[in-house]
């Protein structure tokens, strides 16, 4: 059976158990994750289904809204200029049955 730590390795936390607490520290580089709140609407040119209250709130606060299909964005364009999102329409139709 092999161990993850080599007892003869001076860097190993188990190489000299009398002088250490037995706790190993694994360092890893810190990475910053970037979150995109708005894709600019370039990848998705559809009018999505969102409640009017949420749209009005978003216009006042600048917070993103969530459409029935799950798209999250800050509305900035006139939805009457775009076709209706097929996923939003399908979900809405299923809800109205």
Per residue in 26-84, pLDDT tens? 677 776 655 555 555 555 789 999 999 999 999 999 999 999 999 999 999 999 999 99
The answer, yes or no, to whether residue 16 has pLDDT greater than 90, is no
Length of the chain: 97
| Rounded Cα–Cα distance for residues 75 and 29 (Å) | 36
Are 16 and 22 in contact, with CB atoms under 8 Å apart? no
> Measuring CA to CA, which residue among 53, 73, 71 is closest to residue 63?
73
What pLDDT shows up at residue 43?
Answer: 53
Number of Cβ within a 10 Å radius of residue 34:
5
Quick one: pLDDT band at residue 10, thresholds 50, 70, 90?
Answer: low
Degrees to nearest 5, angle at CA 19 with 14 and 20: 55
Domain ranges (residues) in the chain: 45-97
């Amino acid at each position: 059976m092999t161990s993850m730590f080599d007892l003869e390795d001076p860097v190993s936390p188990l190489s000299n158990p009398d002088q250490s607490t037995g706790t190993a520290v694994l360092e890893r580089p810190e990475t910053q994750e970037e979150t995109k709140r708005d894709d600019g609407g370039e990848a998705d040119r559809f009018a999505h289904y969102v409640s009017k209250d949420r749209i009005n709130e978003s216009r006042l606060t600048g917070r993103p809204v969530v459409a029935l299909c799950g798209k999250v964005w800050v509305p900035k364009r006139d939805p009457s200029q775009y076709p209706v999102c097929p996923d939003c329409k399908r979900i809405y139709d299923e809800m109205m049955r």
